[in-house]
Structure 1
Amino acid sequence: MKKLTSEELKKLNTNKGLLAIVSKNPLNLERAVRYVNYQQKLKNLQVELIKLQTWAIEKNERIIILLEGRDAAGKGGAIRRMTERINPRHMRIVALPKPTDDERTQWYFQRYVAQFPKAGEIVFFDRSWYNRAVVEPVNGFCTSEEYQIFMNQVNDFERMILESGIRLVKIYMSISKKEQAKRFEDIANNPLKQWKMTPVDEAAQELWNDYTTYKKAMFSKTNTDISPWKIIKANRKTAARINAINHVLKSIPYDKTIQI
C-alpha cells in the first residue's frame, strides 16, 4: 500500500472518513480515501443539479434524462444520486412495467409520451422506449416486424421531441460480462436485493452476445448528431455515477450563477 499524504490522512480523520474505513472489510485505506473523495465530488455535483432544476423551473424547461444499459449496470443507482437532493415535486422517475393488453394495441411510443415532462419538470427514465431496440428482440418480446418499425421510427420520434422544445439526454451504462456476473451473485446473496432479480436478468449472461449484437445496431442507428448517446464505463459504480451527472450538467445549458 502506498504511503498516504497528510491531506489524505486529514480526510480519513473525519466522520465520513472513519465511516468509509469501518464500512468495508478488509481494511483498505486507499479505497477509503477514494470513497471520501467520491462523496465530496458527489455533493458538489448535486449542488449543481439543484441549480439546474431551479433554472428549469424558472424557465419552464422540460427535460428528459434516460438511462439504458445491461441488467445490473447501475442505472438505478445513478438515478438515485441524481435525484436524492433535488426537489421531488418537480421531477419524476419512470420505470414502466411490461405493457398492458390495451397498451399492446397502441402505437409503441404512446405510453412513453404519456410520461413526458410538463413545464419546469425533469423526468428520469430507468429504461425507456429503447427496450424495443435491445431487451425485447433479444428475449422474444416483440416480432421482427415490430423491431424494424421501431428502428425506422425512433430517430424521427426523437427529432419531434427535440423540435417540441424538450431537452433529451441519453446515457448508456456499460459493464463487462465478468462484472455483471459478479453483481448478479451479490444480488442473489443479499436478501435486501433479491427482489431485483427477474427472469430476464437470469438469462442475461447466456444471452450476452445477442445483447451485444442488438446494442451495436442501436448505437449505429440512433447515435445521431441531434440526439447522441453518451456511453459511460460503469464497472466502478462511483466513477460511473460521477461521470453520468457530469454529462447531464454539460448537456443542459443551465445558469450556473443562479441563486439557490
Structure 2
Amino acid sequence: MPELTLDDLRDLMRSAGGVDDDVDLDGDILHTPFPDLGYDSLAVLQIGALIEHRLGVEVPDSALDEIKTPYRLLSFVRRQGDGAAGHTDNAIVIAAPFDLVWTMTNDVESWPELFSEYAAAEVLLRRENVVRFRLTMRPDADGTAWSWVSERVTDREKGTVRAYRVETGPFEYMDIFWEYARVEGGVRMRWAQSFHMRPGAPVDDATMTERINRNTAVQLERIKHVIEEVAR
C-alpha cells in the first residue's frame, strides 16, 4: 500500500481547503491542531475523502472526529496500511475509587513515584485537557538515561486518555490509549499501544512488542499496589 508522507498530506490539505495567508504549511505543522491551520471539520472530512480516493485507505468520519493534528492523521493511515506494526493491549483492576485512580495516574509530575522506570517528568505545556511533558528514564545498564517528549489528551467524562510521542526516537510513531472503567472490585485500567519501529532501529516491532508487554505488566502491578495503598 502506498505510504502517506507529510509532504503528501500537505498537498492534500492544499487541495481540500487552500491555505490561509498567515499559515505556512511547509513549516513545522505536525502537532498543530487542524483548526489552527485554517481547516475546520468539513475540510478535514474532505482530506479524509481524498486519502480514501488516492490510497484506498478507509478513513471513517468517526475516526476523523478524534484526529486533531496532521501527526495523528498520518499515524492513523500508517496503522491502517501496515499489518506488521506493533500493538499491545494490557489491563488491570485496581481496588480503589474511580476519582483516585484517575487523579493519581494522570498527575504526570508524580510519575517518577508511580512508575519504577521514570527518573523525571517535566511538564512543558498545559492547556485545558492537554499536557505536553518530557519523560526521562532511569539509566539503563549502559548508563544511558533515555528521554523524550509526549503529549496526552484526557477526557474525564469518557474515562479515556489518548497520548503519543512528539519526539519519536526509534519509533516511526507511538500512540497510546488509556481507558478507565468502573467494574466489580474497583476500576479496570487498560493500556493499548500502537507503534512501528523505524528502519535501522535496534529492535523490530515483534521484539518491541514483547518488551512492552513484559514491562507493562510490571508497571501495572506497581501502580495497582501504590494506589491501593493510598486508598486504604
Q: Does TM, scored on the shorter chain, surpass 0.5?
A: no
Task: State the TM-score, normalized to the length of structure 2.
Answer: 0.29
Bigger Rg, which one: 1
Bigger strand fraction: 2
Task: State the TM-score, normalized to the length of structure 1.
Answer: 0.26
Bigger relative contact order (CA 8 A; separation at least 6) = 1
Bigger helix fraction: 1
